C-alpha cells in the first residue's frame, strides 16, 4: 500500500470518527468510543504493543496491549499503529508490534507505522502550527517542534519523522533536534509528561466481560482467566470466592 493511500485511509478514519484535519486526538476517548479493550502493562523494552481481533457471526471484538514502560508519546503512536491493524489491514487476527521502526521488510508493520504517522500528525494540522517564515527546508525552530509534539502528544522521534516526511527538515536536522529532548522541553517551560512512561496497569473497556467470554468459550484456561482478574485489581480472596462458588 503506497503512502498516498495510507494517508487517505488515515484521513478517512479521522473523518469517520469526527476528527478534523487540524485536531489532536484524545486517544483514550477514541478507544472507548470504538469499544476497543485496551490494557497498559509494563513490559520489556523490545515490545511496543500488540493487537488482536476476534470475529464471529454476531460481532467483532478488538483488543490492544500497550507497553506502559514506553513514553506516553510512544504509546500514543503505538495505539495509532494498532488501529491500522484492527481497522485497515485485511484478514487481520493478531500481531506483536515494535511500533515506530518503519521497517520495510515487514510490509504490514511498515504500513501501520506510516498510517500512524498520518493519523497522529495530519499534514494540515502540523503545518497550521508552523509560522510562515519557518515553512521552508530546515527553517523550523526548536520552539515550533516542541509546540507540535505537545499539541499532538507525540514523541520527538514521531514528530521529527513526520517533519522529514513532509520535507520540512533534512536528515541532518532531524539528528540535531533528536537530542536532549527532555532538557529542551524544560528549557521552554513545557511539561515532560509525554516523554515519560505512564498508564501502568490501566484498563480501558469492558475487560471483565471479555475475559469471562473467552473463558466460557474455552479460548483461555481457568488459570489464565483468574490471572486476568488479578490484572483487573481483584484480590486473591475475591478470586478464591469465585472458585468456591463455581462462578
In a domain, 200, yes or no: no
Per-residue pLDDT of 172-224, as tens digits, reads: 999 999 999 999 999 999 999 999 999 998 889 876 666 677 667 776 677 76
In a domain, 201, yes or no: no
- Among 195, 217, 235, residue at a domain's last position: 195
Are 164 and 228 contained in the same domain?
no
| E strand spans, the chain | 36-41, 49-55, 60-67, 94-97, 203-204
Domain count, the chain: 2
Q: How many CB atoms lie within 10 A of CB 197?
A: 15
With vertex at residue 159, the alpha carbon angle to CA 134 and CA 11, rounded to the nearest 5 degrees, is 95
Are 129 and 231 contained in the same domain?
no
Are 182 and 71 contained in the same domain?
yes
- Among 195, 214, 231, residue at a domain's last position: 195
pTM confidence score: 0.85
Are 216 and 177 contained in the same domain?
no
Q: Which domain holds residue 230?
A: 206-246
In a domain, 141, yes or no: yes
CA distances from 185 to 24, 143, 191, 193, 209 (A): 19, 9, 7, 10, 41
Are 166 and 222 contained in the same domain?
no
Are 48 and 135 contained in the same domain?
yes
Average pLDDT of adjacent 10-residue blocks, the chain of 247 residues? 92 96 95 92 89 84 92 97 96 82 84 96 97 96 98 96 96 96 96 96 77 70 68 56 54
Are 183 and 217 contained in the same domain?
no
Are 182 and 221 contained in the same domain?
no
Are 55 and 76 contained in the same domain?
yes
In a domain, 80, yes or no: yes
Are 187 and 71 contained in the same domain?
yes
**To the nearest whole percent, how much of the chain has pLDDT over 70?**
85
Are 215 and 190 contained in the same domain?
no
Give the phi and the psi of residue 84 in degrees, each rounded to 5. Answer: -60, -50
Are 137 and 29 contained in the same domain?
yes
For every residue of 153-220, DSSP letters joined together read: T--HHHHHHHHHHTTSS-HHHHHHHSSSHHHHHHHTT---GGGSB--TT-EES-HHHHHHHHHHTTSS
Which sign does the torsion angle of CA 94, 40, 192, 128 carry? Answer: positive
Q: How far apart are CA 37 and CA 51, in angstroms?
A: 10
Amino acid at each position: 500500500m503506497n503512502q498516498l493511500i495510507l494517508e487517505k485511509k488515515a484521513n478517512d478514519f479521522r473523518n469517520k470518527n469526527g476528527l478534523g484535519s487540524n485536531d489532536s486526538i484524545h486517544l483514550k476517548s477514541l478507544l472507548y468510543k470504538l469499544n476497543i479493550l485496551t490494557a497498559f502493562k509494563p513490559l520489556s523494552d523490545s515490545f511496543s504493543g500488540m493487537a488482536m481481533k476476534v470475529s464471529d457471526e454476531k460481532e467483532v471484538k478488538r483488543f490492544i496491549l500497550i507497553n506502559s514502560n514506553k513514553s506516553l508519546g510512544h504509546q500514543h503512536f503505538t495505539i495509532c499503529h494498532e488501529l491500522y491493524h484492527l481497522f485497515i489491514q485485511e484478514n487481520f487476527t493478531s500481531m506483536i508490534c515494535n511500533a515506530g521502526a518503519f521497517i520495510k521488510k515487514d510490509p504490514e508493520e511498515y504500513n501501520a507505522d506510516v498510517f500512524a504517522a498520518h493519523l497522529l500528525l495530519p499534514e494540515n494540522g502540523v503545518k497550521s502550527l508552523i509560522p510562515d517564515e519557518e515553512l521552508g527546508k530546515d527553517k523550523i525552530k526548536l520552539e515550533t517542534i516542541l509546540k507540535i509534539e505537545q499539541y499532538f502528544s507525540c514523541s520527538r522521534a514521531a514528530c521529527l519523522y513526520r517533519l522529514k516526511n513532509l520535507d520540512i527538515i533534512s536528515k541532518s536536522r532531524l539528528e540535531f533536534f533528536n537530542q536532549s529532548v527532555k532538557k529542551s522541553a524544560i528549557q521552554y517551560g513545557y511539561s515532560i509528561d509525554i516523554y515519560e512512561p505512564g498508564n501502568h496497569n490501566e484498563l480501558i473497556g469492558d475487560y471483565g466481560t471479555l475475559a469471562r467470554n473467552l473463558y466460557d468459550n474455552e479460548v483461555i484456561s481457568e488459570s489464565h482467566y483468574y490471572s486476568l482478574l488479578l490484572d483487573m485489581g481483584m484480590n486473591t480472596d475475591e478470586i478464591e470466592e469465585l472458585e468456591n462458588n463455581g462462578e
